[in-house]
Structure 1
């Protein structure tokens, strides 16, 4: 495992930890999209089904379990915690995320490496992860003023994906010497969705202001 992959993994983990701690400590999920979190749970469950069929390493197994467990816990807090669920912006979190699921299922059935259950579900998880952030970005766009922890969470998610792209480039020249079209294109789409957010995040950080997105 190279440094870029490792940095990407821990940046991804840090993004989830930042969000989890925000909810635990403030007892608020204001500005957080439950629909995005539910999509991520679906992403991790369908991607990590190989936990039951293959063993790669202790690190690999632990990270997969942490991603599933922490994201599932966030969804639980937002849905069932008697204090946290009252702060959920349900009236603004209205993105029809089930359309994303249906589209990604169809794409996975049509475009995949191998027509097996594990492979199709793994491909589905890549497609879905690429667009899972959309409900969150739409919610931020509607709420306009964004607290630092929520902004840091979204920024770290985008940084994780950017680091993974660097990892793929590094591996292309040092290991695999071939393009893996499905994860590469999915990753590029996902990173592109963060471009506008990155611009305003860096602008607010430079000016020491609260992050605000345009209407």
Structure 2
């Protein structure tokens, strides 16, 4: 494992921990999109089907189980926790996320490495992850004022994908036969979606003020 992949895994894990901290410490999911969390749960469930058939390493298995269990726990808290669920702003979180699921499924059926259930599910998870943040970004733009923990969650989630792009570049030049184009394209699209958020996050950090997004 190279340093870029490890950094990507750690920033991804840290983003999840920040979100869980926000929910646990404040007993609130204000500013968090349930639809984005449901999409991420679907991403992990469809990507990590190899847990049932293959063992790569203890690290690999543990990380996959952590991402699956944490995403399901967040969805459960937002839907079923007696206190947290009352703080969910359903009226603001109105992005039609099922269109993202449908579009990703169509792309996976058309463009994949091999036409098998596992490979199609893997491609579906890559396409869906690229756009899963959209409901969250739309929600933040509608609310405009972003609390520190929510801002940090989105920032580290975007940083994870940026590190993974560096990981793919590194592997392209150091490993033979590493040329899977699906994650390259999806990763660039996903990172591009964060560009506007990164810009305003940088301004808020530079000026030491609360993060605000334009309407």
Q: What band does the TM-score fall into relative to the shorter chain?
A: over 0.9
Would you say 1:209 and 2:212 are equivalent positions? no
CA deviation after TM superposition for structure 1 residue 160, in Å: 0.4
Q: Deviations over 1:55-77 (max 9, x none)?
A: 10000000000000111101010
Q: Which residue of 1 aligns with 2:6?
A: 6
Contact 1:108 1:120 in 2 (8 A): yes
CA deviation after TM superposition for structure 1 residue 178, in Å: 4.4
**TM-score after normalising by structure 2:** 0.99
* Partner Cα separation in structure 2 for residue 14 and residue 176 of structure 1: 31
Q: Deviations over 1:182-204 (max 9, x none)?
A: 01000000000000000000000
Q: Which residue of 1 aligns with 2:91?
A: 91
CA deviation after TM superposition for structure 1 residue 176, in Å: 3.1
**TM-score after normalising by structure 1:** 0.99
- The correspondence of residues 1-215 of structure 1 with structure 2, limited to 5 A, is 1-176=1-176, 178-215=178-215
* Partner Cα separation in structure 2 for residue 92 and residue 79 of structure 1: 16
Query: What are the ranges of 5 or more consecutive residues in structure 1 without an aligned counterpart?
Result: none
Query: What are the ranges of 5 or more consecutive residues in structure 2 without an aligned counterpart?
Result: none
CA deviation after TM superposition for structure 1 residue 180, in Å: 1.7
CA deviation after TM superposition for structure 1 residue 175, in Å: 1.1
CA deviation after TM superposition for structure 1 residue 128, in Å: 0.1
Contact 1:22 1:149 in 2 (8 A): yes
* Partner Cα separation in structure 2 for residue 165 and residue 20 of structure 1: 26
CA deviation after TM superposition for structure 1 residue 177, in Å: 5.5
* Partner Cα separation in structure 2 for residue 84 and residue 200 of structure 1: 28
Q: Tell me the secondary structure at the aligned position of residue 93 of structure 2.
A: coil
* Partner Cα separation in structure 1 for residue 159 and residue 177 of structure 2: 24
Contact 2:171 2:178 in 1 (8 A): no
Matched pairs, number: 215
Contact 1:161 1:187 in 2 (8 A): yes
* Partner Cα separation in structure 2 for residue 30 and residue 16 of structure 1: 16
* Partner Cα separation in structure 2 for residue 178 and residue 92 of structure 1: 42
Please provide the CA RMSD for this pair.
0.7
Mean Cα displacement is larger for which, 170-179 or 28-37?
170-179
